Amino acid sequence: MDPEIRTILQFKMVDCDNQERVVSEKKRKIFTCTQKAKVALEAMKGTKTVNEIAQEFGVHPTQVNQ
């Protein structure tokens, strides 16, 4: 990774013991329209619970609406 980009993605954090540590930001997952449609159709079927659907498709349960 380019050093310039690395400095943008990281910041220093000082904890209670005044020790610096570097914390990286986490990148967001990007879901395609096809993936969203599959989750929505599964939720509309009503055969599985929200937690089962979320686990199957790798999303958070609050992202699954019926």
Q: What is the pTM of this model?
A: 0.57
SS3 category, 38: helix
pLDDT in tens, 10-49: 555 555 565 556 666 777 888 899 999 999 999 999 999 9
Contact of 40 with 34, CB cutoff 8 Å = no
**Residue 50: pLDDT over 70:** yes
* Residue 62 DSSP class: G
